[in-house]
Amino acid sequence: MKVSQHVFMLILFMLSGYSIAAEEFIFDVSSYQKKNYRLGGYLEYSLNHQILNQSAAANSLLFINKTLPDSITQHIGIIELNGDYKQDKWQARFNFHAEAYDNELVSDQQGIFYEAVATYQPTTGITLEAGKKAIKWGKGYAWNPVGFVERPKDPNDPDLSREGYVVAAADIIKSFSDDIKTLAFTAAYLPVTEHINEDFGQQEHNNIAAKLYLLYNDTDIDIVFLNQGSRSWRYGFDFSKNINTNFEVHGEWAYLSNVTKQLVDNTGVISTEQDSAQQWLLGVRYLTENDTTIIAEYYRNEAGYNEQQMDDFFSAVDVAYATLNTNLLNSLSKISQQTYLKRNPGKNYLYLRASNKEPFDWLYVTTAVTLITNIDDNSYSITPEISYTGIKDLELRFKAAWLNGDDHSEFGEKRNDRKVEFRLRYYF
């Protein structure tokens, strides 16, 4: 074969190779045509192992007259299904959440509609909704002081979907070409009766919540309000702004009138006090040059418990547990989940999260570490995690949690000392 023929064959080969490479990338848009309905969601299995804190108040109140095991291994299965159906200006959508769990002590299962709402949109700028809907307000990542009509989020997993309330809501949007580019008003009516939204607050009340949103000089601003009803009246605002291409700053402030707070002294006497309180949060999100996203937030809750109040409660539990005072343990247990043992019951917190996509060139891997600390008692939790998304429609996550603190500190009295969790999620 002559040199020219070799060259010709080489060129032909290269051209054919190029052609294959070019043809590799095909986009058939017909399979993405709009349908009237949509259905999706995920299936999840998770396995967690918890090393129990043998001296924790949380366990003293949970295992009254029972033997406390060293550890618990738990299996959890979850299905979350969401869908919608659209017809002209009407739309119906739902989000159904079912989960079953099993450990050495208990097994249970439940299914619940997180959302089921009908929407009517007469024009682009107006939307009317009725049904069960999760309204989420605020700019904070871990906490939302202005989230007046929502269930609290878990700062350890703030992206999880949450159950909504039954509401009737209206949303009006107007755009401008001035300093104020967008003005949007949202109002929600939330009734509370014996059978509707009964866990929102006092029953037989009509609650009105409202939010005015402005995009003013490239800053998001929300002004929010909740009337006196099932909860005390409250108002506040939030903001968020990009300072530059990799730096964002946000904050929230809320004023809550007549917040009722249950107190326990160190002998176990329960009392109630009422006072107004401010809650606020300041946070930043920063993207470093090596693609690490850092979120930092400071949270101040005047309605929270100070270090002495926490110490009194834990002392009361210790005394009741040591003297086998079952009646007192039961009464403390009854109020604890909504007070001293709820998520982050203290006054001052710092949240730090650093996450990095594909560190060390590990494909499809994201690593993150989260620190939540109670600044008053210096107790904290550290949660490193690693997730992998290299298999189509699958997400694997491994997470560990290490809780640390002195006796009578928030994280020193939590149920677990350590926790490891493996989660497998399949999206469809």
| Interface positions with another protein (CB under 8 A) | 22, 25-27, 29, 32, 34, 38, 40, 42, 82, 84, 86, 91, 121, 124-125, 127, 134, 136-139, 141, 158-162, 171, 173-175, 181-182, 184, 186, 213, 215, 218, 220, 240-242, 244-248, 250, 285, 287, 293, 357-358, 361, 363-364, 389-390, 392-393, 395, 427-428
Minimum distance from residue 334 beta carbon to another protein (Å): 31
Minimum distance from residue 296 beta carbon to another protein (Å): 15
Nearer to another protein, 55 or 82 (CB): 82
Minimum distance from residue 140 beta carbon to another protein (Å): 10
Minimum distance from residue 187 beta carbon to another protein (Å): 12
Distance of alpha carbon 407 from alpha carbon 315, whole angstroms? 10
Nearer to another protein, 139 or 408 (CB): 139
Nearer to another protein, 32 or 195 (CB): 32
Minimum distance from residue 240 beta carbon to another protein (Å): 5
Residue 306 contacts residue 300 (beta carbons within 8 Å):
no
Virtual torsion, Cα 156, 160, 161, 163, nearest 10 deg: -30
Minimum distance from residue 390 beta carbon to another protein (Å): 7
Nearer to another protein, 162 or 418 (CB): 162
Minimum distance from residue 99 beta carbon to another protein (Å): 15
Minimum distance from residue 335 beta carbon to another protein (Å): 30
Nearer to another protein, 72 or 170 (CB): 170
Distance of alpha carbon 140 from alpha carbon 247, whole angstroms? 15
Neighbour count for residue 257 (Cβ, 10 Å): 14
Minimum distance from residue 363 beta carbon to another protein (Å): 5
* Residue/partner pairs of 324-327 with CB below 8 Å, 24 or more apart: 325/268, 326/64, 326/65
Nearer to another protein, 164 or 345 (CB): 164
Report the 3 state secondary structure along the chain: CCHHHHHHHHHHHHHHHHHHHHHHCCCCHHHHCCCCEEEEEEEEEEEEEEEECCCCHHHHHHCCCCCCCCEEEEEEEEEEEEEEEEECCEEEEEEEEEEEEECCCCEEEEEEEEEEEEEEEEECCEEEEEEEECCCCCCCCCCCCCCCCCCCCCCCCCCCCCCCEEEEEEEEEEECCCCEEEEEEEEEEEEECCCCCCCCCCCCEEEEEEEEEEEECCEEEEEEEECCCCCCCEEEEEEEEEEECCEEEEEEEEEEEEEEEEEECCCCCEEEEEEEEEEEEEEEEEECCCCEEEEEEEEEECCCECHHHHHHHHHHHHHHHHCCCHHHHHHHHHHHCCCCCCCCCECEEEEEEEEEECHHHCCCEEEEEEEEEECCCCEEEEEEEEEECCCCCEEEEEEEEEEECCCCCCHHHCCEEEEEEEEEEEEC
Nearer to another protein, 186 or 383 (CB): 186
Nearer to another protein, 248 or 302 (CB): 248
Minimum distance from residue 297 beta carbon to another protein (Å): 13
Nearer to another protein, 271 or 428 (CB): 428
Nearer to another protein, 138 or 229 (CB): 138
Nearer to another protein, 6 or 181 (CB): 181
Minimum distance from residue 428 beta carbon to another protein (Å): 5
